[in-house]
Chains A and B, each alone.
Chain A
Amino acid sequence: MTKISIPIGPQHPLLKEPLSMKVDISGERVLGGSLRLGYVHRGIERLAQKRNYVQNVHLIERICGICSHIHTTTYCHGVESLLKVEVPMRAYYLRALMCELERIHSHLLWLGILAKHVGLDTIFMHVWHDRELALDIMEEITGGRVLHGANQIGGVRFELDEAQVAMIRAGVEKLHTQVEGVLDVIENEPALIARTRGVAPVSADMIKKYCVVGPIARASGVDVDMRRDNPIPPYDQMEFSVVTLPDGDALARTLVRVYETRESILLCERILRDIPDGPVSTRVPRKVPAGEVIVRSEAPRGELFYYLRSDGTDKPARLKIRTPTLAALCLLPEQMSAIQVADIPVVLAGVDLCVACADR
């Protein structure tokens, strides 16, 4: 049968962000594909060299509209490591609270997109309704739903009063109930299971070869999570489960993310229970001593890597950012081989693309 190349993107209803793919098909069979990034490449690493450390907190927050907080958390932790300042433990807990809320909203956003792609609009609408709860909490405590401006070098820029803590507890409790309901539907919905079970399975060996991280790796049985393996405080003091599943197919990638959402809700409850009293920030000098640091953290999509070098001035000499989506995209052409054309949306959704993150 004749081989045909179909372009998908950079503007396409299937894609939420610009990305160009060429998919080779023969009949209904996909033979492979290739990728082109760069449509939202803003040169952020280069821009960061022209701004001071404080300005860069706000620049880096704009890398991504979904996981903006984990970017600033990782960056601030790197700068604080070079400064050798002691950040108040309360600030670490507040950062972690935002990180987990971000993970919840990111996973629910993704689940809604998957449901939409497989034609389950009811799940899509329910899940995005539930996601609003997480966004509402973040808006209440930081003032921002997408860009939070929560972090500063030396701590955080917000404090919680008793009324806010009560509001977060009530919101998280409601989220817990809603997510349990969603999980019940997903585990038992025949249409969703039929569209995802056995689709584009990825073995643990392939995950290792392609250096894939995060929920995709965990859905293939690779037990890796930077919150546990290379923790930034307060994760080194917290107990939580790292969810893994053995199958590596689209259903496993779905379930892993929903189980992780539940685990993040439990973590939010633990953070609110254990958060210590004290200041939320400490004063830091504007100039950072010469030195280099590598920081790894767990973003909603997996390992986030920052390398930072200071030459002793108030601007970084080099900032390198590797986002988890870039690692996952490397595997995508392989995943695209030997699937049906109708499964392309499911496979794409399974990657949980964040093109803005990958492009930087």
Chain B
Amino acid sequence: MDQTNIESLCHKLKSQLDCTFDLYTEIRNDDTFVISPDQLKVVVAMINEHFNGIHLSTITAQQREANAEVIEVMYSFFQGVGFSLMISLPTKAPEVTSIVSIIPGADFYEREVAEMFGVKFTGRRETPPLLLPDDWDQAPPFIRNEVNND
């Protein structure tokens, strides 16, 4: 896939879903598009269908210093070139639909983001912790708050 294909995919998604699909230009190497969290699953499903199976490299989450009220979650794909989808979730109650039913390989990535950032992925089975101890009772390690703000 080349740049033209990404552009045609964007056009298709915009016209069929009537969704915001804004280009986030800060990331070098990957084209990154900001979408609404409630459109994530349907967008991923369409991308997956468009390419007859898309490779999900990983899911990255972060909380920026400038805006601690929001957790950004980024889904990075690779199909000849890299591109990413970015959503923003409220830090107080971060919740988004799981994409495991579309891409089973997202399982461990979602679990890691859930543990490290406290994001709740709905529509998937409950699983035990993947990385943190079973008796971890503190705030998610990556969340900046009074406990972790060092």
- A-to-B contact residues, CB < 8 Å: 36-38, 41, 43, 45-46, 81-82, 205, 208-213, 224, 229-230, 291-296, 303, 305, 307, 309, 311, 317-318, 320, 322, 326-327, 329-331, 359
**Minimal Cβ-Cβ distance residue in A for B105:** A211
Tell me whether A38 and B74 are in contact in the complex, defined as CB-CB below 8 angstroms, given that A294-B30, A320-B58 are known contacts. Answer: no
B130 A205 Cβ-Cβ under 8 A: no
A329 B141 Cβ-Cβ under 8 A: no
A359 B131 Cβ-Cβ under 8 A: yes
A295–B27 Cα distance when bound, in Å, is 10
Question: Distance (Å) between the CB of A303 and the closest chain B CB?
Answer: 7
A296 B78 Cβ-Cβ under 8 A: yes
A36–B54 Cα distance when bound, in Å, is 26
B57 A305 Cβ-Cβ under 8 A: yes
B92-115 contacts to A (CB < 8 Å): 103-109
Residues of B within 8 A of A329 (CB): 108
Residues of B within 8 A of A36 (CB): 128-130
**Minimal Cβ-Cβ distance residue in B for A36:** B128
B133 A209 Cβ-Cβ under 8 A: no
B57 A211 Cβ-Cβ under 8 A: yes
User: Is B15 positioned at the interface, with any CB of A under 8 Å from its CB?
Assistant: no
User: Is B120 positioned at the interface, with any CB of A under 8 Å from its CB?
Assistant: no
Residues of B within 8 A of A296 (CB): 29, 57, 78, 82
Which of B53, B58, B81 is the most central at the interface, judged by chain A CB atoms within 10 Å of its CB? Answer: B58
Of A210, A291, A330, which contacts B26 at CB under 8 A?
A: A291
A294–B24 Cα distance when bound, in Å, is 13
Residues of B within 8 A of A320 (CB): 58, 60, 62
5 additional A-B residue pairs with CB within 8 Å, beyond A45-B142, A320-B58, A320-B60: A38-B130, A211-B56, A296-B57, A307-B60, A320-B62
Residues of B within 8 A of A311 (CB): 65
Of A43, A230, A322, which contacts B109 at CB under 8 A?
A: A322
Residues of A within 8 A of B131 (CB): 37-38, 41, 359
B141 A43 Cβ-Cβ under 8 A: yes
The contact sample of 8 A-B pairs, CB cut-off 8 A, is A36-B130, A45-B142, A209-B105, A229-B78, A229-B80, A307-B58, A327-B105, A330-B108
Residues of B within 8 A of A213 (CB): 55
- B-to-A contact residues, CB < 8 Å: 26-30, 53-58, 60, 62, 64-65, 74, 76, 78, 80-82, 84, 103-109, 128-133, 141-142
Residues of A within 8 A of B103 (CB): 209, 211
A296–B28 Cα distance when bound, in Å, is 12
A213–B129 Cα distance when bound, in Å, is 24
Question: Distance (Å) between the CB of B65 and the closest chain A CB?
Answer: 7
B105 A291 Cβ-Cβ under 8 A: no
Which of B65, B78, B142 is the most central at the interface, judged by chain A CB atoms within 10 Å of its CB? Answer: B78
Residues of B within 8 A of A224 (CB): 55
Tell me whether A230 and B78 are in contact in the complex, defined as CB-CB below 8 angstroms, given that A36-B130, A322-B109 are known contacts. Answer: yes
Residues of B within 8 A of A210 (CB): 104-105
Residues of A within 8 A of B60 (CB): 307, 318, 320
A205 B27 Cβ-Cβ under 8 A: no
Of A37, A294, A322, which contacts B82 at CB under 8 A?
A: A294
Tell me whether A37 and B130 are in contact in the complex, defined as CB-CB below 8 angstroms, given that A43-B141, A230-B82, A293-B27 are known contacts. Answer: yes
Tell me whether A208 and B53 are in contact in the complex, defined as CB-CB below 8 angstroms, given that A229-B80, A294-B82, A320-B60 are known contacts. Answer: yes
B57 A322 Cβ-Cβ under 8 A: yes
Residues of A within 8 A of B30 (CB): 294
Question: Distance (Å) between the CB of A301 and the closest chain B CB?
Answer: 14
B58 A305 Cβ-Cβ under 8 A: yes
